[in-house]
């Protein structure tokens, strides 16, 4: 199929020999939100099915009469003549229904501070913040960048934007000043909401300096010109530099604002948010989502995939709001469904490796949604750690971000789920907005390692190079064959890239970029990316973006980056670099080895963010290239994964691989 599939780096064989089955527990099935019949209903009339979900699950200020308009394909319009407000649906509606006293957020700060925020509190806070933003000149349709730690203000800031119809662009707090700057520029944001800092790994980690640097970079010609204000949440109390006239304390602005605000009803197709994600080229793509369809599918999937019962469950999705999982399954899905949820600021091992399980025990968490990399890390730490806590409140476990290997799946169910809970492996993307392929708890007989079945109303296929569906038992490319409500409406400011990236490979089909296989029952097994996108700890990273960061350092002449399989993080970034000859001549002065790697790792962290730092940097004299000059990453992956190097016949110079392999006993 592709280099990725044939080079042995996918665990196809392991997956296909996995034959454990976990049928639904009858007691669970009897109370489940999902029923087997919804598949038939939805496939008989997908548009009618989604229209019903949109009407039942959301409050519309103007009801829609149109369902899907696909005449402008590949840009879909769903429920386009309806109007609604996302914050009203996530917050006010529950207060109006008499649930104002229900806890919406239970916040656990990393140092141990906690806050409980009810839906009535959220209504007041989002109203104040909406009034404050308006006071600062932010208008419906304006873009606002949010660069915050995982604290309640992050949720409030997103909802406050939605409340006034401003488009939020959340930038993960772990991204660099440079990454923030390029996103602010691309979206032409008028304001940035940030904090002095947040707590991470036991200490206060500053955020505001990165905003200052992003807005006033060394080269003034690169400075964003659209930002008028920076709202600063005080979280850690650390010192911050202050730009008079531009910077405003969040607490001052909110205190001065009224706690009453009428949410602005927007058209269903009004943009709700932009979220940047890595693609195959250097420049991140601003994926944008709109309001009505997105909220419909977020609410539906959160309800049926997690079997969520408002007022009873305590839900915890461990994702940061900087990722799409945090948008759909911390903010919009759960809040539209009136959930009570935990949000946690810090890392799982601060101050000790049982922190997550302590939180589950303390708040009686009943639904937990996390990533395979976290599960594998816990496996590594040992099951006696979760064994010290009472996890009996858990009743549904979810996984997202990358393929979950069957061993991690069964460990998750046995150790965390007490050999009792359903586990749902949910496949989706920033672009799909919400979950697309997943078992349904209480309905599906689970197969560890497989996302299995497109959700009701969703049509997925695995196709070959010519877009023909592959027979059961075969592999190919995952495509989505019909429009879905929460699909991306485009790449911000770059329609052509949207068409080229997703709609050109297979005519009329959405190409997800993932390889997949259908087993003998037709269930789908995801096999990883088939493009130059890596998946490290469930986070998407572009090989090209990291390569550009590396070559922007004066000591690097050329760089090639590959994702090598890693037992904990799924994939790890491995970089092959050729140093510049003038630098190599000076190596003795500057010091070789570890220093080169440390310097370049720090440089990548500065350019993109610490998550993009290569795990391994190998200094080489040559890179394997085809006669047309294309780097053969497949061969580098063989080297990085310590495999015999595959077919080298298309290399311009086949001795290059011998040289590289020979030099590898001394990684930098």
Contacting residues toward ligand WT7, per CB under 6 A: 277, 323-325, 400-403, 425-430, 451, 512-514, 526, 529, 535, 538, 540
Phi, psi of 62 (to 5 degrees): -125, 115
CB of 430 to ligand WT7, least distance (A): 3
Give the tokens for residue 83: 């109007």
- Minimum Å gap between C-beta 634 and ligand WT7 is 18
Identify whether 351 is preceded by a cis peptide bond (ω within 30 of 0).
yes
CA distance linking residue 618 with residue 372, whole number of Å: 28
Token pair belonging to 553: 């350092």
Q: In the complex with ligand WT7, which residue's Cβ is closer, 99 or 539? A: 539
- Pick between residue 344 and residue 576 the one whose CB is nearest to ligand WT7: 344
Binding positions are 200-203, 325, 401-403, 425-430, 514, 529, 537, 540, 551, 553, 556
- In the complex, the smallest distance separating the C-beta of residue 377 from ligand WT7, rounded to whole angstroms, is 17
Distance CA 606, CA 467 (A): 41
Q: Which is nearer to ligand WT7, 197 or 372 (CB)?
A: 372
> Of the two residues 254 and 374, which places its CB atom closer to ligand WT7 in the complex?
374
Least distance (Å) from ligand WT7 to the CB of residue 482? 18
C-beta of 126 vs 405, nearer to ligand WT7: 405
**What would the two tokens of residue 501 be?**
């990236």
Closest to 423 (Cα-Cα) out of 336, 307, 516: 307
Nearer Cβ to ligand WT7 (46/439): 439
* Least CB distance to ligand WT7 at residue 434 (A): 9
Which residues, at least 6 apart from 477, have a Cβ–Cβ distance to it below 8 Å?
A: 1, 462, 463, 464, 465, 505, 506, 511, 512, 514, 515, 516, 530
Nearest residue to 483 via CA among 268, 293, 332, 272: 293
Q: Which two tokens stand for residue 166?
A: 């401003």
Burial of residue 542 (CB within 10 Å: 0-12, 13-18, 19+) is buried
CB of 527 to ligand WT7, least distance (A): 8
Q: Is the Cβ of residue 100 or residue 538 nearer to ligand WT7 in the bound state? A: 538
Q: How far is the CB of 77 from ligand WT7 (least distance, A)?
A: 23
Distance CA 478, CA 490 (A): 19
Q: Pick between residue 89 and residue 277 the one whose CB is nearest to ligand WT7.
A: 277
**What's the farthest any 2 CA atoms get from each other in the chain?**
74
Least gap, CB of 15 to ligand WT7 (angstroms): 11
Whether the Cβ atoms of residue 574 and residue 561 lie closer than 8 Å to each other = yes
Residue 321 and residue 327 in contact, taking contact as beta carbons nearer than 8 Å: yes
Compute the least distance from the CB of residue 273 to ligand WT7, in Å: 14
Smaller CB distance to ligand WT7: residue 109 or 372? Answer: 372
HSE at residue 222, side-chain half, CA atoms within 13 A, is: 13
The residues with which 425 forms a beta bridge, in sequence order, are: 399
Q: How far is the CB of 431 from ligand WT7 (least distance, A)?
A: 7
Closest contact distance (angstroms) between CB of 601 and ligand WT7 is 22
**Binding residue ranges for CoA:** 200-203, 325, 537
* CB closer to ligand WT7, 126 vs 278: 278
* Ramachandran class of 453: left when φ > 0, alpha when ψ lies in -120 to 50, beta otherwise: beta
**Three-state secondary structure of 289-334:** EECHHHHHHHHHHHHHHHCCCCCCCEEEECCCCCCHHHHHHHHHHH
Q: Annotated binding site for Mg(2+): which residue ranges? A: 551, 553, 556
Nearer to ligand WT7, 236 or 430 (CB): 430
Give the 3-state DSSP-derived string for 391-423, with helices as H, strands as E and coil as C. CCCCCEEEEECCCCCHHHHHHHHHHHCCCCCCE
φ/ψ of residue 382, rounded to 5: 110, 145
State which H helix or E strand residue 351 sits in.
Answer: none
Residue ranges of the binding site for ATP: 401-403, 425-430, 514, 529, 540
Radius of gyration of the chain (CA): 24
The b-or-e profile of 154-180 (16+ CB within 10 A means b, else e) is bbbbbbbbbbbbbbbbbbbbbbbbbbb
């Amino acid at each position: 199929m592709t280099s990725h599939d044939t080079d042995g780096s996918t665990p196809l064989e392991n997956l296909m020999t996995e034959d454990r089955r976990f049928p639904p527990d009858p007691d669970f099935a009897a109370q489940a939100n999902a029923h087997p019949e919804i598949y038939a209903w939805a496939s008989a009339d997908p548009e009618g099915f989604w229209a019903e979900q949109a009407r039942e699950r959301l409050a519309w200020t103007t009801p829609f009469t149109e369902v899907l308009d696909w005449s402008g394909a590949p840009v879909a319009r769903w429920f386009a003549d309806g109007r609604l407000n996302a914050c009203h649906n996530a917050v006010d509606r529950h207060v109006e229904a008499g649930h104002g006293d229900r806890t919406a957020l239970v916040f656990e700060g990393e140092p141990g501070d906690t806050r409980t925020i009810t839906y009535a509190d959220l209504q007041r806070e989002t109203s104040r913040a909406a009034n404050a933003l308006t006071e600062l000149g932010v208008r419906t349709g304006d873009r606002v960048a949010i660069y915050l730690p995982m604290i309640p203000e992050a949720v409030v800031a997103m909802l406050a934007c939605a409340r006034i119809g401003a488009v939020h662009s959340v930038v993960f707090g772990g991204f660099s000043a440079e990454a923030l700057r390029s996103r602010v520029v691309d979206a032409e944001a008028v304001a940035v909401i940030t904090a002095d800092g947040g707590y991470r790994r036991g200490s206060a980690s500053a955020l505001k300096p990165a905003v200052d640097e992003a807005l006033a970079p060394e080269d003034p010609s690169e400075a964003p010109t659209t930002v008028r204000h920076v709202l600063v949440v005080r979280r850690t109390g650390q010192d911050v530099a202050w730009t008079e006239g531009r910077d405003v304390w969040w607490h001052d602005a909110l205190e001065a604002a009224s706690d009453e605000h009428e949410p602005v009803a927007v058209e269903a197709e009004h943009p709700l948010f932009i979220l940047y994600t890595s693609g195959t080229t250097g420049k991140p793509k601003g994926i944008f989502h709109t309001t009505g369809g997105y909220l419909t599918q977020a609410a539906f999937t959160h309800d049926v995939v997690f079997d969520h019962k408002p007022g009873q469950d305590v839900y915890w999705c461990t994702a940061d709001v900087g990722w799409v999982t945090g948008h759909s399954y911390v903010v919009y899905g759960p809040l539209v469904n009136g959930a009570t949820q935990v949000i946690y600021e810090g890392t799982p091992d601060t101050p000790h490796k049982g922190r997550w399980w302590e939180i589950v025990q303390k708040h009686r968490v009943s639904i937990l949604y996390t990533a395979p990399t976290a599960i594998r890390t816990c496996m590594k730490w040992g099951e006696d750690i979760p064994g010290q806590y009472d996890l009996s409140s858990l009743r549904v476990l979810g996984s997202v971000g990358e393929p979950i290997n069957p061993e991690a799946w069964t460990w998750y169910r046995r150790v965390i789920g007490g050999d009792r809970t359903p586990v749902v492996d949910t496949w989706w993307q920033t672009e799909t907005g919400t979950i697309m392929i997943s078992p349904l708890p209480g309905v599906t007989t689970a197969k560890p390692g497989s996302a299995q079945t497109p959700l009701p109303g969703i049509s997925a296929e695995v196709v070959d190079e010519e877009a023909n569906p592959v027979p059961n038992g075969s592999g190919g490319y995952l495509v989505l064959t019909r429009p879905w409500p929460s699909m991306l409406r485009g790449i911000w400011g770059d329609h052509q890239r949207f068409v080229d990236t997703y709609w050109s490979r297979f005519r009329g089909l959405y190409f997800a970029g993932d390889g997949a296989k259908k087993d003998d029952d037709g269930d789908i097994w995801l096999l990883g990316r088939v493009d130059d996108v890596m998946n490290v700890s469930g986070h998407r990273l572009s090989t090209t973006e990291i390569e550009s960061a590396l070559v922007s350092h004066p000591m690097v002449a050329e760089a090639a980056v590959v994702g090598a399989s890693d037992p904990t993080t799924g994939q790890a970034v491995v970089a092959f670099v050729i140093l510049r000859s003038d630098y190599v001549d000076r190596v003795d002065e500057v010091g070789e080895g570890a220093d080169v790697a440390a310097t370049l790792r720090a440089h990548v962290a500065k350019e993109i963010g610490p998550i993009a730092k290569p795990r391994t940097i190998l200094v080489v004299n040559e890179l394997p290239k085809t006669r047309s000059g294309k780097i053969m990453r497949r061969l580098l992956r063989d080297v990085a994964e310590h495999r015999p190097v595959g077919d080298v016949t298309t290399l311009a110079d086949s001795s290059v691989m011998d040289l590289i392999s020979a030099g590898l006993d001394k990684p930098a």
